[in-house]
Structure 1
């Protein structure tokens, strides 16, 4: 009997220390593409819808996806290619206004007129906006200074904004100032810094919605709208990965381990 007490005296502190270490690791460790709801405590893991090509030498499974997700633009004159928490698996080249070393990090893009436009770089950290699960991509191609892409009927109702005359300047100064602004805009569109280096860039906001129908695809992505200045693109993605669940906890030393120590 005394031997059992002695064994427990040594085992319980070890179990307590192990549990404390595990809890600390659980608090500090964070798996990319996952998040826990601050209101419900539900755990969300988006990795099942993150498309990753199989490594070289590994045989692809029949269910492995070999292309990113697509969304039809409808009244927007382009379709979209998107991945979740990871860059698109397509070979993206000649991205407008984006440095070549960053082409491999593009997570959403569209093509128009033979040119590729990024609408966001890779981001593996979903966030909650209230009860809405959101994934946000930023630092895409420079936003256009004119409404050249949109064909929405609302565009025709916009008032034409003329350049304002510079107070205290003559006609020549006014035109020179306007031409300089045009030069800066042109440099921004090419991804080159003009006089103002603060280039506004395209971004993407994806709202993830729970889909519980077992017969539905793993994920469906729908284009919702874009901002009038063609800087922000809004999407909805329906997937079972956005339904939430319980995070699997790891336990290094369980009841069996206690008796093993004894």
Structure 2
């Protein structure tokens, strides 16, 4: 009978743990600009403190970054302005190859000959690839071919035309399709789209206590000047434990449930065994009653010993000293009276 009960108890424990695992969690989606490692290590990354916000933005807090990040191109000849998981703080105008509605989404750009070239639009899709933490921006200004800035100027001018009113013709292949608003030129026979600039940022963990602000460095670009690569060092790019999400069961809660079930199985199983097999009644139904009774007696003895030890420091001992000094004081007074009476009798006898 006891073996059957134990088997039932363990089955109940396994079922409860499986239910906690299989129960659909109503967790909120992962916040933007955060990522969890795909290697199974459980590493969690949160780059939200590195986002630069305008000073009047409601999402910014007093410790937030309020200026864009800058990276020098050195031998490349151009310097870059970048933000992390957000569009750049400084407003932009007349971005090459982009419509006016897209200017506010630019997250990385550089300037050349007075023109602004976007190298990627806003993205909060932080991701891990192996042990690398990456952020990618796409949809920048048109690129490709020789990468000459004059070609980009031509694409910018073409993009400003109304796509419904301009139709290009090729003397050999006939008419071509319209120029799309985003600057895409699609041939009727070929269907090839214009390539656009993109940015990839690789984040590295920086544990140097002297480094306060995140730094971004330019790594390089492809021969067509379409893909730009940067390296960012930040203390927030270091792996940490993922915080507990509202509505989900954390490891501590699961451990507490397992411990609670184990305690219930121990006490209920012991009571059932002692009552049915040993025919115990009262407190003796508890499992290992003699052990718990001995612990209780030991605690009671320790309390008595502690109280007796502390009683020596109480001021009540002066009462015993006064009782001991009381009789001796009365005896001395009586002796003094007796001596005075003897002296008086001696004086009367002399007279």
Relative contact order, higher structure (CA 8 A, sep 6+): 1
Structure 1, gaps ≥5 residues long: 1-15, 150-174, 256-262
8 Å contact 1:86–1:122 — kept in the other structure? Answer: yes
TM-score, scaled relative to structure 1: 0.68
**1:191 equivalent among 156, 160, 183:** 183
SS in 2 for 1:204: strand
Distance 1:242 1:66 in 2: 19
Q: In structure 2, what is the equivalent of residue 127 of structure 1?
A: 127
8 Å contact 2:50–2:65 — kept in the other structure? Answer: no
Tell me: CA distance 1:113–1:242, structure 2 relative to 1, closer, same or farther (3 Å): same
Distance 1:34 1:218 in 2: 18
Distance 2:230 2:101 in 1: 27
Q: In structure 2, what is the equivalent of residue 85 of structure 1?
A: 85
Whether 1:210 and 2:208 are equivalent positions in the alignment is: no
Distance 1:206 1:58 in 2: 23
Distance 1:243 1:22 in 2: 32
Deviations 1:149-183 (A, max 9, x none): 5xxxxxxxxxxxxxxxxxxxxxxxxx9559x9xx9
Tell me: CA distance 1:244–1:200, structure 2 relative to 1, closer, same or farther (3 Å): same
SS in 2 for 1:136: strand
8 Å contact 2:216–2:231 — kept in the other structure? Answer: yes
TM-score, scaled relative to structure 2: 0.52
Higher helix share: 2
Count of residue pairs the alignment pairs up: 207
Tell me: CA distance 1:177–1:220, structure 2 relative to 1, closer, same or farther (3 Å): farther
Distance 1:34 1:59 in 2: 17
8 Å contact 2:51–2:65 — kept in the other structure? Answer: no
Q: In structure 2, what is the equivalent of residue 42 of structure 1?
A: 43
Deviations 1:10-31 (A, max 9, x none): xxxxxx9xx88997133x5211
User: Which segment is superposed worse, 137-146 or 50-59?
Assistant: 50-59
8 Å contact 1:143–1:229 — kept in the other structure? Answer: yes
Q: In structure 1, what is the equivalent of residue 335 of structure 2?
A: none
Distance 2:99 2:145 in 1: 20
8 Å contact 1:200–1:231 — kept in the other structure? Answer: yes
Deviations 1:86-124 (A, max 9, x none): 111111111111121111111111111111111111110
Distance 1:236 1:57 in 2: 29
Distance 2:104 2:60 in 1: 23
SS in 2 for 1:65: coil
Structure 2, gaps ≥5 residues long: 1-16, 150-169, 257-351
Q: Answer with 1 or 2: which has the greater Rg.
A: 2
User: Which segment is superposed worse, 227-236 or 120-129?
Assistant: 120-129
- TM-superposed CA distance for 1:82, in Å, is 0.7
Q: In structure 2, what is the equivalent of residue 201 of structure 1?
A: 196
8 Å contact 1:97–1:192 — kept in the other structure? Answer: no
8 Å contact 2:184–2:194 — kept in the other structure? Answer: no
Q: In structure 1, what is the equivalent of residue 101 of structure 2?
A: 101
- TM-superposed CA distance for 1:194, in Å, is 5.0
